[in-house]
Copies of this chain bind each other. A is one copy, B any other.
Amino acid sequence: MASKFEELINYRREIGNFDKACTLINWDMETATPKMGTDTMVEMMGALSTKAFEMRTSEKMEQLIDAVLEPSEFEQLDQYMQKAVKEMKKNFEENKRIPVEFHTEYTMHMAKAQEVWRTAKRENNYEAFKPYLEKNISYTKQLYAYIKGEGKGNYDSMLDDYERGMDMATIDKLFDELKEELIPLVKAIVSKPQPDRSKFTRSLDVNKQKEFSRYLLEYIGFDFDRGVMAESEHPFTTNIDRNDVRLTNHYYENDFLNAAFSIIHEGGHGIYEQNVHGRFEHTPLSECSYMGLHESQSRMFENVLGRNINFWKPVMPKFYELFPEMSDVTVEELYREVNRVQNGLVRIDSDEVTYCFHIILRYELEREMFNGNVSVDDLPKHWADKMEEYLGIRPETDAEGVMQDTHWSGGMFGYFPSYLLGSIYDGMFLEKIEEELGNVDTILAEGRIKDITKWLNEKIHTYGRYREPKEVIQAVCGKELSVKPLIKYFKEKYTDIYGL
């Protein structure tokens, strides 16, 4: 006979089938669904997520969880599964407060809003997107009001939802410290001369770029037996489970570096998902939903490792083989190009350091939107003003301004800070890697990047979301979260590159 715990896991596994089908529908909508097929997909998503939601909030679920929470059962579990069951209880309590009809409406609205955003962005038509954005905000407020109990949902709840333990007070402090150091650093950098970029805008065959993307993923340790790579407008990572992790990339004929770094970034996410311990499957511990921690992994590969000159040294032979027309590009030139610091309008095209301001801007706007100080009507103006304040430039269109990212179109408010938190964590992880594995430059130059991947697998990935972000920092680095290592990393790197 199955134990109470096994019964619970089996029921969660059943629910998982419906959740996974929703993930698949979402993946398909981004990578395959034809234009006219969207409405049906949205309807399917609504039906399946409703079914999953009903099961997740059912009396049966409650009974199964509570049975395992009985001390006689609970004490038989190890610390991991105890944590898993506590998480289930927390999720159950939160979900139970959301009315089924609201959940269905919310899910279908968000799927539709993303579709509208896609077209509106293409046509630079903020007016078309605005009513959806407005609704996204009110739906999100309502969602968190339900989750936290009527009246208690606010922007802090959203931050906590994407990065457990984070709130405005903590983030304000971290980001303010960063601003103080980075505003003068960026000013100093951009006053320096820039290298010529013309070699890097040469037209390179898109299919060769795909091959190169695949090569890079394998090089950093992504497992294609348990993952796939496809194409979508905006690169992203999703997963059915740890054995089916899915990445996308996008390609521009005259900007191969865009695809290369996008895929290294997504690869970091994917490697995390692929390396969560197998025994966490069908439990919340397998759902790596702490997004700052997740972004620390993608940004570790993309920036800390990928923008190091030594990353490229062992990769150049493959690069020259695929792109013989680039045989006159030296690894030094490539390194300089991928570390060009320039004030630009678009987050995903920006360099490692000005990127921080793209995030701070979004964070501050979200915070003010949910605090009622910025309206959807005024959003483009506030956006432009902040861009000017931090980077000295203003967007000419909403497509390259307020509509550039997918997040708000899907109701992901509170996600943006994760990117920068990820970099802050990376500063700390980098120190620890050097302490434990030795000089990163040497490891990379010797083509041993997978040693670092393995270290990350063992120190971070395998735990899934067993540990909360602050616990991870403490466990891995043995100290409190601080922006100092990141600032040190930036200063050393750019002082060298730009001769400050």
Chain A interface (Cβ < 8 Å from any Cβ of B) = 14, 17-18, 20-21, 24-25, 28, 31-37, 39-41, 43-44, 46-48, 51, 207, 224-228, 230, 240-241, 243-246
Contact = CB atoms under 8 A, between A and B. Distances in A.
Contacts of A246: 32
A40 B244 contact: yes
8 contacts: A17-B44, A32-B228, A32-B246, A35-B226, A36-B226, A40-B243, A41-B240, A51-B51
Nearest to A50: B17
Given A24-B24, A25-B24, A225-B35, A18 B244 contact: no
Contacts of A37: 226, 240-241, 243-244
Name A's interface SS: helix
Contact of A40 (B20, B39, B224): B20
A21 B44 contact: yes
Nearest to A230: B32
Contacts of A32: 31, 228, 230, 246
Given A24-B24, A43-B17, A243 B36 contact: yes
A15 to B, nearest CB: 9
Contacts of A24: 21, 24-25, 28, 44
Contacts of A227: 34
Contacts of A40: 20, 240-241, 243-244
A287 to B, nearest CB: 15
A397 B25 CA distance: 39
B28 A44 contact: no
Contacts of A34: 224-228, 243-245
Nearest to A13: B43
A236 to B, nearest CB: 15
Contacts of A48: 17-18, 21, 48
Nearest to A46: B17
A44 B226 CA distance: 17
A11 to B, nearest CB: 12
Closest 4 CB pairs of A and B: A37-B244, A17-B47, A36-B243, A36-B226
Most chain-B CB neighbours within 10 Å: which of A39, A51, A245? A51
A21 B43 CA distance: 11
A41 B17 CA distance: 9
Nearest to A239: B37
A296 B60 CA distance: 51
Nearest to A22: B21
A25 B28 CA distance: 10
Nearest to A44: B17
Contacts of A36: 225-226, 243-244
Contacts of A18: 47-48
Contacts of A226: 34-37
Given A24-B24, A48-B48, 11 more contacts: A17-B46, A17-B48, A18-B48, A20-B40, A21-B21, A32-B230, A34-B224, A34-B228, A36-B225, A37-B240, A40-B240
